[in-house]
Structure 1
Amino acid sequence: MPFGSAAEQSIADRLLLDRVLQQRSAHWKPHDAAIDPERSGVIMTGPRAGTRVADLRGRGCVAPLLIDPAAYIRHKATAETPFIVPTDRLGGVEWEICAQRNAGADAAITPTGHIAADDTAALRAVVRKAVTLDRDGVIVALPIHTDWLRPASFDVLFEACRAIPHVKAVIPSGQFDPIALTSRIQNLRRLVGTLDDVAVIRTDLAAFDAVAHGAVFAAIGDSSFLRHAVPPDQRAWRSSLDDGTPDILVPLLMRYNSGLEVAERYAAVEPPRCACSTCLGRDLARFTTDSKDCKAEARAHNVAAVAPWHAELLAEPAGHSRRRWWRHHCALALARYDDVSRNINSLDGFRIPGALRVWATVPLDAGSSFGLG
């Protein structure tokens, strides 16, 4: 959908519309072999992101590149300070925007602090500051506690988003999967489906749900840390299965598991093989160490494994057809869980992600007040 000013339309329609970007940590040395310039791109995240983007541009990367300052990881937004900029930068948020563009980013993402649950004063301060910024090439980050997607809070969030004339990048935060509840998934769908200038970033396979339901673009984190943000006053809760091996996507089940858990689950039977451009038919039980090479290959697999899904989704006309394709894709994955449990001779098997169950079973447009195509 076209949106905003002519300048914004050129950025979105030419570069970002319908893309599922990779959200990467600036801690890792950048590589561009796995970046699809036609359908994807990169959001580089963290303090060194500008340097990494400049490096990618210098090496000839033509895919869209963005920088997420990720101020929300350590700082809360307040009524007095909605955007977090070091005090030695006299230009404030405008300086941050210029720095990102000068580094080679195609648009600048604001350094918004984390917007705590029901902190209406902070949310309104973000709106007041955002409307003073140039709309050309600026994306307003909205790192919100997932409670903003509750029915009791959603209308306030919706009106704030509607009041901001820029593209908005929603970053839901919370422990584990912050938007796994039905009401929160439906309200996020309502947000991206009713407003035509909302993206969802720093998430997991919810990126596809967002694009299927009308998000202008989305981004999947290439590590568990970048797939789920947590409020700055909390530490991420760890699963008891956290074993140091990289999380890998099991495509048939549409879920992420540690590499060691996958290997152990399939210890007595042949493990699944993956046909993605990284695995090339090799099995998924090989990601069993915490070495840099193993983690790098796991990240490459996670990116490559979803590329065909994105292509198939975009082959459908925007609107009902895309939502139908996505729901069917999720339903196929959900139906495989019983077969996999029998195959590995396990009573409990793999746990079905709460979000997958919702994506696969909630009727199209159920509980929504919008109609798209």
Structure 2
Amino acid sequence: MVTVEELFAIDALLSDEEREIRKTVAAFAAQRLRPHIEDWFEAGTFPAREIAPELGALGLLGMHLDGYGCAGMSATAYGLACQELEAVDSGVRSMVSVQGSLAMTAIHQFGSEEHKQQWLPEMAAGRAIGCFGLTEPDFGSNPGGMRTRAKRDGADWILNGSKMWITNGSVADISVVWAQTEDEGKQVVRGFLVPAGTPGFSTREMHRKLSLRASITAELDFSDVRLPADAVLPRSRGLGSPLACLSEARFGIVFGALGAARDCLTTTIEYARTREVFDKPLAAYQLTQAKLADMALEFGKGQLLALHLGRLKDQGVVQQEQISAGKLNSTREAIAIARECRTILGANGITLDYSVLRHANNLESVLTYEGTAEVHQLVLGKALTDANAFR
């Protein structure tokens, strides 16, 4: 008997260092996260303050960034770490993605040297938590329509608006907030650093979620928030700045979603081998084996694509539409695998005793955030036809 990864000889494509990183993260996930994830999911909570320093100690926060206390690992290594975290739960990988690929990347790419020195070492260690405020109640797939505004008032900025669906929002020490500003009569999107406790800045944790329950999600509100001149990320100019950060997060999802799919497959194969139906194991039936074979095939193809994109990213030649292709494929196939696995588990598949429906619920969000499946289809369509169908 082989595992789904052995079926495609995935290990042969990894370096010794990459295998060791994957092993280390998997061990941490198994010992520290997996024993509690069902309870966290059921309770709709996640102990971010407690877990973040442990993730930082492993070098997982901003691990693909260089300097300022960051690990400086390869893109492929980061992807493999995301895969092991999401094999436990998408909420855990989301916390790491938002911290490293969104908030820390924004500061690393667009912040001043003072910003980097102040925040990145603390965030890399998990002593400070960050969030990324782009999405608004009425503007998700069209972030360019955002209503949040920052206006000059002498040397200061006055920030007004709101953000929604913000991971880590209510526990963040620093929020990277994107707002429309005016520069020489033109509207320009810029990023601002807003520390927790700033007068006029409030957060509200969102509840009643059916997905990503083991993740902190919040609304951010800004009412005449006065920020000093140096709160702006000086190198951020235009919507391309936050979109560059989103591309980093999407890359992690290319690997991460497959971790959820792999966990569903592993769980289901073990269940099918031990569950007896009509006096023989469920795994011995042709229909069951056909389902498992098809799912393993899609997982393997997704894994090979993810590794290919990782190598391209490490070479500095990956294109945005290629990451879109990976995100679209991984999320779409992962949720299909989770749903199909549930059918093999039957009634047992709807309980928290097994991970498959929890993963399926989470993947509903992963399919949507960092660009919906439809948005990525249009990204690919534009690349193939050179015609913009967004408007």
Larger RCO (CA under 8 A, 6+ residues apart): 2
Same fold (TM over 0.5): no
Question: Which of the two has higher C-alpha Rg?
Answer: 2
* TM-score, normalised by the number of residues in structure 2: 0.31
